[in-house]
Amino acid sequence: MTEPKSYKWFLDFLSPDEGHMHGIETILFAKQTKYQRMEILETKSYGRCLVLDGKMQSSQADEFVYHEALVHPAMLSHPEPKRVFVVGGGEGATVREILRHKSVEKVLMVDIDEEVVEQSKIYLPEWSQGAFDDPRVELRYMDARKYLEETKDNWDVIIIDISEPVEEGPAYLLYTKEFYKIVQNRLGKSGLISLQAGSAAHTSLTCFAAVYQTLKAVFPYVGGYQATIPSFGLPWGFTVASTRIDPRAIAPEEIDRRIKERIKGGTKYYSGEIHQGQFLFPKNVRNSLERFDRIIEDNQPLYTYH
């Protein structure tokens, strides 16, 4: 067995009792922004990584898995997504994947933390690949919930790409039943939302299960799904929801046809087979998701470990 090298180490805590260690070659950027602690690390295994409030957000080696898993299920389930709203998404990779859909005419990204976006442009340009300069994209720095409460605009797809709900962090009121009702009111008749929802490991299901049950209290069609993202150290949960469309009912062959017709350059991770299979969970995980009885509300927010 090869002995560990004497790197500096970043320990990404997955719970109070478990963590994933990453060997760090260089700390490229570290700063406390107005809203959160931001770090950009050069790691040995995964290349450059964005870390917010001590939690891994994305890595150079596998960010395409995360962002394709987040964006394409909702986008491909909609018959013709033209207007897309992004909550968060600071690195720009979520917008990048949205823009690859030929039907898209307008993307509005609202992120509360300008520093994360600007530093990502400098240190993580491979994530956005020029997406912020696309004329279809508008970028605003403000509270996304406040914007959605005040606007009358409707959107075909709303994608929520934010960090986990940590106490005193910027995101915890974007996981509540009240917020999901605001989102529902801003969707067009065939609209869908998708979001990352935390660990899908059976030992760390609290966030994922609570988000899943909270969305079910608002939307008639809710599909929890998972993707393997190695840099996260655990299987990762996502959720897609709609008032009219059930993505789980779309056949793999139809998804493959839509990828070919609708996405410029195809996909590296996503396929019809992945689309169908991602909604399948081991029996113990499925039972835990369905039996969980926690609804996240403004006056009863959920905080993950921090």
Residue of higher predicted confidence among 149 and 306: 149
* Average pLDDT of the chain to the nearest whole number: 94
User: In the structure, what pLDDT confidence band is assigned to residue 168 with cuts at 50, 70 and 90?
Assistant: low
Annotate 93-128 with three-state secondary structure: HHHHHHHCECCCCEEEEECCCHHHHHHHHHHCHHHH
For residue 115, give both structure tokens.
Answer: 């520093």
Closest CA to 49 of 36, 63, 37: 63
User: In the structure, what pLDDT confidence band is assigned to residue 169 with cuts at 50, 70 and 90?
Assistant: low
Catalytic-residue membership of 161: yes
- What is the reported pLDDT for 306? 46
Maximum C-alpha span of the chain: 61
Q: For the segment 258-276, what is each residue's pLDDT rounded down to a tens digit? A: 999 999 999 999 999 999 9
Evaluate if residue 164 carries a pLDDT over 80. Answer: no
CATH-assigned architecture of domain 8-59: Roll (2.30)
Q: For the segment 59-82, what is each residue's pLDDT rounded down to a tens digit? A: 999 999 999 999 999 999 999 999
Give the lowest-confidence range in 103-107, 112-116, 167-171.
167-171
DSSP summary character for residue 234: S
Q: For the segment 240-258, what is each residue's pLDDT rounded down to a tens digit? A: 999 999 999 999 999 999 9
| Cβ atoms of 243 and 184 closer than 8 Å | yes
Parts of the chain belonging to CATH 3.40.50.150: 63-291
User: In the structure, what pLDDT confidence band is assigned to residue 215 with cuts at 50, 70 and 90?
Assistant: very high
- What is the reported pLDDT for 303? 76
> CA 301 → CA 125, 163, 257, distances in Å?
34, 15, 41
Residue of higher predicted confidence among 90 and 6: 90
User: What are the residues facing 109 on neighbouring strands?
Assistant: 86, 139
Evaluate if residue 15 carries a pLDDT over 50. Answer: yes
Parts of the chain belonging to CATH 2.30.140.10: 8-59
Phi, psi of 287 (to 5 degrees): -60, -40
| Cβ atoms of 81 and 156 closer than 8 Å | yes
Q: Distance between CA 109 and CA 95 in Å, rounded?
A: 8
Evaluate if residue 195 carries a pLDDT over 90. Answer: yes
Task: Choose, from 153, 161, 256, 293, the residue flagged as catalytic.
Answer: 161
| Cβ atoms of 171 and 290 closer than 8 Å | no
- What is the reported pLDDT for 172? 81
Evaluate if residue 6 carries a pLDDT over 90. Answer: no
Q: Distance between CA 223 and CA 82 in Å, rounded?
A: 22
CATH-assigned architecture of domain 63-291: 3-Layer(aba) Sandwich (3.40)
- What is the reported pLDDT for 18? 84
Average pLDDT on 8-22 reads: 87
Q: Which amino acid is at 38?
A: M
> CA 55 → CA 38, 58, 138, distances in Å?
10, 9, 27
> CA 108 → CA 79, 118, 238, distances in Å?
20, 17, 21
